[in-house]
Structure 1
Amino acid sequence: MPAAVGVIQTIGFPAILAAADAAVKNGRVTLVYYDIAESGHFYIAIRGSISEVKPAIAAGIEAAEKTFGGEVVTHYIVPNPPENIVAVLPIEYTEQVEPFRT
């Protein structure tokens, strides 16, 4: 069964840094992607089992909103993505994230 995918998008780097930190500390998830979305918007993608991704995303959202000036633009969880989703989205487990995979 494929791992669930959770994504958080924020305005400002401090908010996404706090979100990523809280997410990986509050669930057995792997941070698989980080990038700039557009003009000051940043996003992260995490993967893991759905029972771990849900609380990790919730903790990430809370941490981002508590950050000074932090604002969560959007977030979502894909509970059971198909295996071929990595063909179009950069959310696969790469060599860079493999040592941190849970």
Structure 2
Amino acid sequence: MPGAMGFVETKGFTGLIEATDAMIKEARVELVRQEQIGGSYATVIVTGDVGAVRASVEAGAEAAKRAGEFHAANVIPNMNAMAEKVLIRWEEGGGEFAPSDAIGLVEMQGFAAMVEAADAATKAAKVALADYVSLGSGYSAFVVRGDVAACRTAVDSGV
């Protein structure tokens, strides 16, 4: 698992390109991918050591602000491995589920905010991150599975 994950979210493609360019030039980070969630919202994701990711995200946020398209920025220093696997690396997650499992759903505006919330939720309770979805108009949601009490704790932590 990388030392940190960094996100810069923009409302517009020009800001996304400006942010991505600045982030890669600022520090030794790996560009993981870009996530477009509709409504002109898009997020660039980088990984690397914590200091490099922080510097990269600061540079990307400033570039997006200069373009007039900055929406949000975030650094997660030690992302939950399951959250990274499902949300960032697009791998199938969650494992086997019991028929009696409850589900929890958290929806919010922005991909970066959703990733941070899912990370907090999976750290707060014994749940499996089942999936996430980009809903359009800038909204994203994630789904957790587990027993009822764990799902409630996870959802409360992810809000």
In structure 2, the partner of 1:73 is 71
| Deviation of 1:88 (Å) | 1.8
| Deviation of 1:84 (Å) | 2.7
Quote the RMSD (CA, aligned, Å).
Answer: 1.6
For CA contacts below 8 A with separation 6 or more, give which structure has more relative contact order. Answer: 1
| Deviation of 1:78 (Å) | 0.3
CA contact (8 A) 1:9 1:74 kept: yes
Q: Distance in 1 between matches of 2:47 and 2:30?
A: 5
Can you give the 5+ residue segments of structure 1 that lack an aligned partner in the other structure? 93-102
Deviation per residue, 1:35-78 (Å, 9 max, x gap): 212211111110000010001000001111112xx221111110
**3-state SS, counterpart of residue 17 of structure 2:** helix
- Is 1:36 matched with 2:40? no
Q: Distance in 2 between matches of 1:2 and 1:40?
A: 29
Which stretch of the first structure deviates more once superposed, 70-79 or 83-92? Answer: 83-92
Q: Distance in 2 between matches of 1:3 and 1:91?
A: 15
Q: How many correspondences in the alignment?
A: 90
Q: Percent identity?
A: 31
Can you give the 5+ residue segments of structure 2 that lack an aligned partner in the other structure? 91-159
The two structures have a TM-score, normalised by structure 1, of 0.80
**3-state SS, counterpart of residue 9 of structure 1:** strand
Alignment of structure 1 residues 6-85 onto 2, 5 Å = 6-67=6-67, 70-85=68-83
Structure 1 runs (4+) greater than 4 angstroms displaced: none
